[in-house]
Protein backbone atom coordinates (compact mmCIF):
# COMPACT_ATOMS: atom_id res chain seq x y z
CA UNK A 1 0.00 0.00 0.00
CA UNK A 2 1.46 3.38 -0.98
CA UNK A 3 2.19 6.08 1.56
CA UNK A 4 -0.22 8.32 -0.36
CA UNK A 5 -3.02 5.84 0.19
CA UNK A 6 -2.19 5.54 3.90
CA UNK A 7 -2.53 9.30 4.23
CA UNK A 8 -5.68 9.27 2.13
CA UNK A 9 -4.07 11.68 -0.35
CA UNK A 10 -5.77 10.40 -3.49
CA UNK A 11 -6.16 12.20 -6.78
CA UNK A 12 -9.62 10.85 -7.64
CA UNK A 13 -12.33 8.72 -6.03
CA UNK A 14 -15.38 7.18 -7.72
CA UNK A 15 -18.34 5.81 -5.72
CA UNK A 16 -21.80 4.83 -6.92
CA UNK A 17 -24.96 2.97 -5.98
CA UNK A 18 -24.99 4.15 -2.37
CA UNK A 19 -28.81 4.10 -2.24
CA UNK A 20 -29.29 6.57 0.59
CA UNK A 21 -32.90 6.29 1.68
CA UNK A 22 -32.86 2.52 1.29
CA UNK A 23 -32.64 0.08 4.17
CA UNK A 24 -29.96 -1.81 2.23
CA UNK A 25 -27.49 1.12 2.26
CA UNK A 26 -24.29 0.43 4.23
CA UNK A 27 -23.93 4.06 5.31
CA UNK A 28 -21.59 3.34 8.23
CA UNK A 29 -18.97 1.80 5.94
CA UNK A 30 -19.23 4.64 3.43
CA UNK A 31 -18.90 7.24 6.18
CA UNK A 32 -15.74 5.57 7.43
CA UNK A 33 -14.31 5.48 3.92
CA UNK A 34 -15.12 9.13 3.23
CA UNK A 35 -13.69 10.30 6.55
CA UNK A 36 -10.46 8.40 6.15
CA UNK A 37 -9.68 9.47 2.58
CA UNK A 38 -8.88 12.78 0.94
CA UNK A 39 -9.06 13.45 -2.77
CA UNK A 40 -8.93 16.23 -5.32
CA UNK A 41 -11.98 15.01 -7.25
CA UNK A 42 -14.90 12.91 -6.01
CA UNK A 43 -17.21 11.40 -8.63
CA UNK A 44 -20.66 10.33 -7.41
CA UNK A 45 -21.57 7.94 -10.22
CA UNK A 46 -25.33 7.62 -9.80
CA UNK A 47 -27.92 6.14 -7.43
CA UNK A 48 -26.48 8.08 -4.51
CA UNK A 49 -29.97 8.91 -3.23
CA UNK A 50 -32.59 6.21 -3.83
CA UNK A 51 -35.63 8.31 -4.66
CA UNK A 52 -37.50 5.21 -5.85
CA UNK A 53 -37.08 3.53 -2.47
CA UNK A 54 -38.07 6.70 -0.61
CA UNK A 55 -41.31 6.85 -2.55
CA UNK A 56 -42.13 3.22 -1.68
CA UNK A 57 -41.06 3.28 1.95
CA UNK A 58 -39.67 6.47 3.49
CA UNK A 59 -36.53 5.62 5.43
CA UNK A 60 -33.91 8.23 6.30
CA UNK A 61 -31.80 7.63 9.44
CA UNK A 62 -29.28 10.14 10.80
CA UNK A 63 -26.38 8.26 9.22
CA UNK A 64 -27.74 8.99 5.73
CA UNK A 65 -27.86 12.70 6.50
CA UNK A 66 -24.30 12.41 7.80
CA UNK A 67 -23.12 10.95 4.47
CA UNK A 68 -24.46 14.01 2.62
CA UNK A 69 -23.01 16.34 5.26
CA UNK A 70 -19.59 14.70 4.89
CA UNK A 71 -19.67 15.09 1.10
CA UNK A 72 -20.67 18.75 1.45
CA UNK A 73 -17.84 19.28 3.93
CA UNK A 74 -15.37 17.85 1.43
CA UNK A 75 -16.65 20.24 -1.23
CA UNK A 76 -16.28 23.20 1.15
CA UNK A 77 -12.70 22.12 1.85
CA UNK A 78 -11.78 22.19 -1.85
CA UNK A 79 -12.69 18.78 -3.25
CA UNK A 80 -14.34 19.02 -6.65
CA UNK A 81 -17.51 16.90 -6.48
CA UNK A 82 -19.14 15.70 -9.70
CA UNK A 83 -22.62 14.22 -9.30
CA UNK A 84 -23.72 12.01 -12.21
CA UNK A 85 -27.31 10.84 -11.48
CA UNK A 86 -28.47 7.29 -12.17
CA UNK A 87 -31.84 5.60 -12.57
CA UNK A 88 -32.74 5.74 -8.85
CA UNK A 89 -32.01 9.48 -8.66
CA UNK A 90 -33.04 10.20 -12.25
CA UNK A 91 -34.97 13.36 -11.30
CA UNK A 92 -31.66 15.05 -10.52
CA UNK A 93 -30.70 14.84 -14.20
CA UNK A 94 -32.92 17.89 -14.64
CA UNK A 95 -30.10 19.83 -12.92
CA UNK A 96 -27.42 18.64 -15.38
CA UNK A 97 -25.07 21.52 -16.13
CA UNK A 98 -25.80 23.26 -12.83
CA UNK A 99 -23.10 24.02 -10.29
CA UNK A 100 -23.70 24.46 -6.57
CA UNK A 101 -20.51 25.81 -5.04
CA UNK A 102 -17.89 23.12 -5.71
CA UNK A 103 -20.52 20.50 -6.66
CA UNK A 104 -21.33 19.95 -10.34
CA UNK A 105 -24.24 17.94 -11.74
CA UNK A 106 -23.65 16.25 -15.07
CA UNK A 107 -25.14 13.45 -17.15
CA UNK A 108 -21.64 12.12 -17.85
CA UNK A 109 -18.05 13.28 -17.71
CA UNK A 110 -14.62 12.67 -19.21
CA UNK A 111 -11.85 12.12 -16.68
CA UNK A 112 -8.17 12.27 -17.62
CA UNK A 113 -5.86 10.28 -15.35
CA UNK A 114 -2.39 11.45 -14.35
CA UNK A 115 -0.97 9.08 -16.98
CA UNK A 116 -3.11 10.65 -19.70
CA UNK A 117 -5.83 8.04 -20.07
CA UNK A 118 -9.23 9.52 -20.89
CA UNK A 119 -12.15 7.73 -19.20
CA UNK A 120 -15.86 8.18 -19.89
CA UNK A 121 -17.73 8.37 -16.58
CA UNK A 122 -21.46 7.53 -16.49
CA UNK A 123 -23.87 5.52 -14.37
CA UNK A 124 -24.77 2.77 -16.84
CA UNK A 125 -28.56 2.61 -16.81
CA UNK A 126 -28.45 4.10 -20.31
CA UNK A 127 -27.82 0.57 -21.60
CA UNK A 128 -30.74 -1.19 -19.89
CA UNK A 129 -32.91 -1.32 -23.01
CA UNK A 130 -30.08 -2.97 -24.95
CA UNK A 131 -28.87 -5.30 -22.21
CA UNK A 132 -32.08 -6.35 -20.46
CA UNK A 133 -35.09 -5.61 -22.63
CA UNK A 134 -38.57 -5.66 -21.04
CA UNK A 135 -39.44 -9.34 -20.80
CA UNK A 136 -41.36 -11.06 -18.00
CA UNK A 137 -38.11 -12.74 -16.99
CA UNK A 138 -36.55 -9.32 -16.37
CA UNK A 139 -39.45 -8.28 -14.13
CA UNK A 140 -39.24 -11.54 -12.16
CA UNK A 141 -35.47 -11.14 -11.92
CA UNK A 142 -35.91 -7.67 -10.46
CA UNK A 143 -38.31 -9.00 -7.84
CA UNK A 144 -35.91 -11.81 -6.96
CA UNK A 145 -33.06 -9.31 -6.64
CA UNK A 146 -35.03 -7.11 -4.22
CA UNK A 147 -35.91 -10.17 -2.13
CA UNK A 148 -32.26 -11.20 -2.09
CA UNK A 149 -31.20 -7.76 -0.86
CA UNK A 150 -33.70 -8.05 2.00
CA UNK A 151 -32.11 -11.36 3.01
CA UNK A 152 -28.72 -9.73 2.57
CA UNK A 153 -29.59 -7.15 5.26
CA UNK A 154 -30.45 -9.96 7.67
CA UNK A 155 -27.13 -11.68 6.98
CA UNK A 156 -25.24 -8.41 7.55
CA UNK A 157 -27.01 -7.91 10.88
CA UNK A 158 -26.29 -11.46 12.04
CA UNK A 159 -22.61 -11.13 11.07
CA UNK A 160 -22.36 -7.79 12.87
CA UNK A 161 -23.92 -9.14 16.05
CA UNK A 162 -21.72 -12.26 15.98
CA UNK A 163 -18.59 -10.26 15.16
CA UNK A 164 -18.01 -12.29 12.03
CA UNK A 165 -16.19 -11.00 8.91
CA UNK A 166 -18.19 -9.16 6.27
CA UNK A 167 -19.84 -11.44 3.73
CA UNK A 168 -22.44 -10.63 1.06
CA UNK A 169 -25.12 -13.25 0.50
CA UNK A 170 -26.34 -11.36 -2.57
CA UNK A 171 -22.91 -11.41 -4.23
CA UNK A 172 -22.45 -15.09 -3.36
CA UNK A 173 -25.81 -16.16 -4.80
CA UNK A 174 -25.51 -14.08 -7.96
CA UNK A 175 -22.04 -15.46 -8.69
CA UNK A 176 -23.58 -18.95 -8.88
CA UNK A 177 -25.84 -18.19 -11.85
CA UNK A 178 -24.55 -18.24 -15.41
CA UNK A 179 -27.34 -15.93 -16.55
CA UNK A 180 -25.99 -13.23 -14.21
CA UNK A 181 -22.52 -13.52 -15.71
CA UNK A 182 -23.94 -13.32 -19.21
CA UNK A 183 -25.85 -10.17 -18.23
CA UNK A 184 -22.63 -8.64 -16.85
CA UNK A 185 -20.80 -9.46 -20.08
CA UNK A 186 -23.56 -7.84 -22.19
CA UNK A 187 -23.43 -4.77 -19.97
CA UNK A 188 -19.66 -4.54 -20.24
CA UNK A 189 -19.82 -4.80 -24.03
CA UNK A 190 -22.45 -2.05 -24.23
CA UNK A 191 -20.38 0.30 -22.07
CA UNK A 192 -17.26 -0.34 -24.13
CA UNK A 193 -19.15 0.41 -27.33
CA UNK A 194 -20.09 3.79 -25.79
CA UNK A 195 -16.47 4.41 -24.79
CA UNK A 196 -15.28 3.59 -28.30
CA UNK A 197 -17.86 5.94 -29.82
CA UNK A 198 -16.70 8.68 -27.44
CA UNK A 199 -13.10 8.07 -28.62
CA UNK A 200 -11.75 7.58 -25.09
CA UNK A 201 -9.46 4.99 -23.52
CA UNK A 202 -11.96 3.40 -21.17
CA UNK A 203 -15.03 3.77 -19.02
CA UNK A 204 -15.98 4.11 -15.35
CA UNK A 205 -19.53 3.13 -14.41
CA UNK A 206 -21.69 1.55 -11.71
CA UNK A 207 -25.32 0.39 -11.90
CA UNK A 208 -24.92 -3.41 -11.85
CA UNK A 209 -23.41 -3.72 -8.34
CA UNK A 210 -20.44 -5.72 -9.66
CA UNK A 211 -17.06 -4.12 -9.01
CA UNK A 212 -14.44 -4.93 -11.61
CA UNK A 213 -11.41 -3.48 -13.34
CA UNK A 214 -10.09 -5.10 -16.50
CA UNK A 215 -8.74 -4.53 -19.99
CA UNK A 216 -11.53 -5.63 -22.34
CA UNK A 217 -11.77 -5.27 -26.10
CA UNK A 218 -8.71 -3.02 -26.09
CA UNK A 219 -10.26 -0.60 -23.58
CA UNK A 220 -10.18 -0.17 -19.82
CA UNK A 221 -13.42 -1.21 -18.08
CA UNK A 222 -13.88 0.00 -14.50
CA UNK A 223 -16.99 -0.60 -12.42
CA UNK A 224 -16.73 0.99 -8.98
CA UNK A 225 -19.30 -1.38 -7.46
CA UNK A 226 -21.76 -0.27 -4.79
CA UNK A 227 -22.36 0.39 -1.08
CA UNK A 228 -25.19 -2.12 -0.69
CA UNK A 229 -23.51 -5.45 -1.44
CA UNK A 230 -19.82 -5.15 -2.27
CA UNK A 231 -18.97 -1.82 -0.53
CA UNK A 232 -16.26 -0.82 -3.00
CA UNK A 233 -14.76 2.28 -4.56
CA UNK A 234 -12.45 3.01 -7.46
CA UNK A 235 -9.54 5.32 -6.67
CA UNK A 236 -6.68 6.97 -8.53
CA UNK A 237 -3.49 7.75 -6.64
CA UNK A 238 -1.23 10.72 -7.30
CA UNK A 239 0.88 8.70 -9.74
CA UNK A 240 -2.16 7.74 -11.83
CA UNK A 241 -2.49 4.17 -10.55
CA UNK A 242 -6.05 2.87 -10.40
CA UNK A 243 -7.27 0.61 -7.58
CA UNK A 244 -10.48 -1.07 -6.51
CA UNK A 245 -10.96 -0.86 -2.74
CA UNK A 246 -13.24 -3.22 -0.84
CA UNK A 247 -14.06 -1.56 2.50
CA UNK A 248 -14.76 -4.13 5.20
CA UNK A 249 -15.85 -4.11 8.87
CA UNK A 250 -13.85 -6.38 11.18
CA UNK A 251 -16.25 -6.07 14.12
CA UNK A 252 -19.59 -4.25 14.28
CA UNK A 253 -22.31 -3.79 16.87
CA UNK A 254 -25.39 -1.72 16.17
CA UNK A 255 -26.11 1.20 18.52
CA UNK A 256 -28.71 3.96 18.47
CA UNK A 257 -26.53 6.97 17.91
CA UNK A 258 -23.06 6.86 16.40
CA UNK A 259 -20.16 5.14 14.69
CA UNK A 260 -16.84 4.86 16.44
CA UNK A 261 -14.18 3.79 14.01
CA UNK A 262 -10.94 2.27 15.25
CA UNK A 263 -8.17 0.47 13.47
CA UNK A 264 -5.68 -1.58 15.45
CA UNK A 265 -1.98 -0.75 15.41
CA UNK A 266 0.75 -2.77 13.76
CA UNK A 267 0.72 -5.23 16.66
CA UNK A 268 -2.96 -5.98 16.09
CA UNK A 269 -4.22 -8.98 14.19
CA UNK A 270 -6.34 -6.74 11.99
CA UNK A 271 -4.58 -6.07 8.70
CA UNK A 272 -4.99 -5.42 5.07
CA UNK A 273 -4.16 -7.59 2.08
CA UNK A 274 -2.99 -5.66 -0.93
CA UNK A 275 -2.96 -7.34 -4.29
CA UNK A 276 -0.71 -5.37 -6.60
CA UNK A 277 -0.81 -6.04 -10.31
CA UNK A 278 2.23 -4.43 -11.89
CA UNK A 279 3.32 -5.15 -15.49
CA UNK A 280 1.55 -8.48 -15.38
CA UNK A 281 3.20 -9.72 -12.15
CA UNK A 282 1.11 -10.05 -9.02
CA UNK A 283 2.51 -9.92 -5.51
CA UNK A 284 0.50 -10.40 -2.34
CA UNK A 285 1.55 -8.55 0.74
CA UNK A 286 0.18 -8.02 4.22
CA UNK A 287 0.18 -4.51 5.67
CA UNK A 288 -1.11 -2.86 8.81
CA UNK A 289 -2.87 0.48 9.12
CA UNK A 290 -3.81 2.79 11.94
CA UNK A 291 -6.17 5.76 11.94
CA UNK A 292 -7.87 8.13 14.34
CA UNK A 293 -11.39 7.32 15.50
CA UNK A 294 -14.19 9.12 13.69
CA UNK A 295 -17.69 9.71 14.99
CA UNK A 296 -21.20 10.02 13.58
CA UNK A 297 -23.85 7.75 12.04
CA UNK A 298 -25.74 4.91 13.65
CA UNK A 299 -23.36 2.00 14.32
CA UNK A 300 -20.33 1.09 16.39
CA UNK A 301 -17.66 -0.55 14.28
CA UNK A 302 -14.01 -1.36 13.89
CA UNK A 303 -13.55 -1.06 10.17
CA UNK A 304 -10.54 -1.75 7.94
CA UNK A 305 -10.04 -2.05 4.20
CA UNK A 306 -9.79 -5.82 3.76
CA UNK A 307 -8.39 -5.96 0.27
CA UNK A 308 -7.10 -3.73 -2.47
CA UNK A 309 -7.00 -4.83 -6.07
CA UNK A 310 -4.46 -2.57 -7.71
CA UNK A 311 -3.59 -2.19 -11.39
CA UNK A 312 -1.03 0.37 -12.55
CA UNK A 313 -1.02 1.43 -16.16
CA UNK A 314 1.79 3.03 -18.13
CA UNK A 315 1.58 6.38 -19.85
CA UNK A 316 -0.92 6.56 -22.66
CA UNK A 317 0.58 6.32 -26.12
Buried b (16+ CB within 10 A) or exposed e, 75-103: beeebebbbbbbbbbeebbeeeeeeeebb
**One-letter-per-residue 3-state SS of the chain:** CCHHHHHCEEEEEEECCCCECCCCCCHHHHHHHHHCCEEEEEEECCCCECHHHHHHCCCCCHHHHHHHHHHHHHHHCCCEEEECCCCCCHHHHHHCCCEECCEEECCCEEEECCCCCEEEECCCHHHHHHHCCCCHHHHHHHHHHHHHHHHHHHHHHHHHHHCCCCCCHHHHHHCCCHHHHHHHHHHHHHHHHHHHHCCCCEEEECCCCCCEEEEECCEEEEECCCCCCCCEEEEECCCCCEEEEEEEEEEEEECCCCEEECECCCCCCCCEEEEEEECCEEEEEEECCCECCCEECCEEEEEEEEEEEEEECCCCC
For residue range 256-275, what is the model confidence (pLDDT) as tens digits?
Answer: 223 332 332 222 233 333 32
Whole-number average pLDDT of the chain: 75
Burial class of residue 108, CB neighbours in 10 A (0-12, 13-18, 19+): middle
CB atoms within 10 A of CB 176: 8
CB atoms within 10 A of CB 130: 12
What pLDDT shows up at residue 230? 86
Are the C-beta atoms of 42 and 81 separated by less than 8 Å? yes
Annotated domain spans of the chain: 3-312
Going by DSSP bridges, is the β-strand pair 219-223/202-205 parallel, antiparallel, or unpaired?
Answer: parallel
For residue range 169-216, what is the model confidence (pLDDT) as tens digits?
Answer: 556 556 565 566 788 889 999 999 999 999 999 999 999 999 999 999
Are the C-beta atoms of 13 and 232 separated by less than 8 Å? no
User: How far is the first Cα of the chain from the last one, in angstroms, to the nearest whole number?
Assistant: 27
Considering only 40-54, 78-92, 170-184, which range has the smallest mean pLDDT? Answer: 170-184
Global pTM reads 0.72
Highest mean pLDDT of the ranges 170-174, 251-255, 285-289: 170-174
What CATH number was assigned to the domain covering residues 3-312? 3.60.21.10
What pLDDT shows up at residue 239? 95
Picking from 283, 254, 289, the residue whose alpha carbon sits closest to that of residue 270 is: 289
* φ, ψ of residue 187 in degrees (nearest 5): -65, -45
pLDDT tier, 9 (very low <50, low <70, confident <90, very high otherwise): confident
For residue range 152-171, what is the model confidence (pLDDT) as tens digits?
Answer: 666 555 656 666 666 565 56
Amino acid sequence: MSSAMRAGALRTVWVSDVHLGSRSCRASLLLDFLRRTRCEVLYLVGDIIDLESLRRDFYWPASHTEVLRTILKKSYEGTRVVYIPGNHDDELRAFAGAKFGNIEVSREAIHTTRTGRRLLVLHGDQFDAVVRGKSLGVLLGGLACRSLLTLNRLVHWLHDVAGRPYWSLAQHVKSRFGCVQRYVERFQHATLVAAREAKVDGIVCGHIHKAEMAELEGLLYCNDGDWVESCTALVEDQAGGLSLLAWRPSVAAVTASSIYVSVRSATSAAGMESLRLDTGRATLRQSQTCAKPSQGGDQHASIVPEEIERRRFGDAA
